[in-house]
Amino acid sequence: MKYHPIDSSLFVKNRQKFMARMQPASLAVFNSNDIYPISADSTMPFQQHRDIFYLSGVDQEESILLLFPEATDPKHREVLFLRETNEHIAVWEGEKLTKERAFAVSGIKTVYWLKDFDKVFFDLMTEADTIYFNTNEHYRQAVETETREGRFIKNCKEKYPAHQTAKSNPILQEIRGVKEPQEIDLMRTACGITEKGFRRVLNFVRPGVWEYEIEAEYLHEFIRNRSNGFAYTPIIASGNNANVLHYIENNQQCREGDLILMDVGAEYANYSSDMTRTIPVGGRFSTRQKEVYQAVLRVKEEATKMLVPGTLWAEYHKEVGKIMTSELLGLGLLDKADVQNEDPDWPAYKKYFMHGTSHHIGLDTHDYGALKTPMKPNMVFTVEPGIYIPDEGFGIRLEDDVVIQEKGGPVNLMENIPIEADEIESLMNKG
C-alpha cells in the first residue's frame, strides 16, 4: 500500500464498538471483495470491502473477519482468516500478510489460513444462536453482481438453517457514520492531497487545454503524494458539460470564456475526499459568471452553518432549498410566480439545483451514516450546492468536506483550498 501504516488501535476500537451492539450468543462474519475479471487474464484493480477494512485494517483479497464476543475460547472472539502466503506467491504477486504482520495491522492475535475456515467456523457455530450477515443496505446501493459476501450468505443459510440471522448493516450505519479522531486525520490528509492537485491545476489551466489533460494533472499530484488516485470517477466539465451532473467523459477542449466545473477528490488509506471547484478557463470570471458564483458560495456558507448536532438531514435540505430560492430570485432565474405556483414535491428551485446539498463521507464517498436521526458530533458531511444554467452555457458547484463539532459550526477539512473568486483569479494570473 502507498499509505503510511495506520495504528491498529483504530481497528481495535471499531471492533469493540461493533461487538458491544451484537445480540447475545451471536457471531458476525465479514468477507473481502472479489477480484473482478475484465477478460482473458485481466482483472480490475482490487478494492477492499470497506467494512472488513474498517474493522480490521486488512487491505488484501481473500480475507475473512469473524467476531464472536461470547466464544468459549477467548482466542476465538476475534479471528482473521487469510490466504496462505509462500515464496511462489511472493515472487509472482508480491508481499502478502503473514500471521505476524496481520496482528500488527489489526491487533487481532488469532490468525488462521483460509483452508481452516470451514472447520473453525463449524465449531463456533455450534456455540452460537445467531449469525450476523453483512448485506449492503446503503440508500444508494445498486448491486447486480453476486459478491463474495453474497455467496457466503447463501452457503451459510443452506448449511445452518436452524440459526437465527441478524443484520450487520444497521450497526455499521451507526458507528461508521461517527468518525474517530484517527479517521478524521486520515480524511484531512486526503483533503490535503486534493488541495495540492487543485493548486497544480490552477497553474496549468489555459484556453486550449483538454479536460483529460486536467484530469491527468490531478492524478499525477495525487499519486506522488501516496494516494492510490481518485476517490471516485472525476468530473472535469467545461462549458455546458457542467450541466450534466455526472459528466465523466472529460474529452472536450476548454475554450476562452468558459468555466470548468471540477468535482474531484483524492483517496488516502481508503478514505475519501470530495471537492468541487469551478474556475474560469481564461483566468477571469465574467460579470454574470461571478454573480452566479457568489450566489452559490453564499448558499454553501449558509448551509454549512446549519450542520450542527441535532440537525435533521431532511429538514436541513428543505432549509437549504429556501436559501437557494432567494438567491435564484435575486439572479432573475426565478420570479415570484414560479415560487407561488411551485409543486411542493418538486420546488421551483429544483430547475436550477436538482440534487441534494450534503451526504456522509468517509471510507466511501457516499458513506454509511444515519440519515433519519439527528446529526452527531464527528459526523463528516459534504456541502455542495450548485446552480446549473444550460441556457447560459455554464454551471457552478462548490463543495467542501466538514466535520460536525460538539459546539458551534463545523470544521472545514478543505479550508485551505482556495474558493473565493478573487483568490482563484489571482492565483490563475500569478506570474
User: Which positions are annotated as active-site residues?
Assistant: 41, 246, 263, 274, 355, 359, 366, 384, 388, 397, 399
CA dihedral 184, 185, 189, 190 (to 10 degrees): -20
Q: Which of 368, 386, 364 minimizes the C-alpha distance to 246?
A: 386
Q: What are phi and psi of 412, to 5 degrees?
A: -90, 115
Name the residue among 34, 54, 53, 52 with its Cα closest to residue 44.
34
Q: Which distant-in-sequence residues (6+ apart) come within 8 Å of 201 by Cβ?
A: 214, 217, 218, 262, 279
The C-alpha atoms of residue 373 and residue 364 are separated, in whole angstroms, by 20
Straight-line distance from the first to the last Cα atom of the chain, in angstroms, rounded to the nearest whole number? 38
Cβ 295 vs Cβ 387: under 8 Å: yes
The Cα 169–Cα 279 span in angstroms is 40
C-alpha cell, 177: 457514520
**Distance of alpha carbon 336 from alpha carbon 65, whole angstroms:** 58
Q: Retrieve residue 310's grid coordinates.
A: 441535532
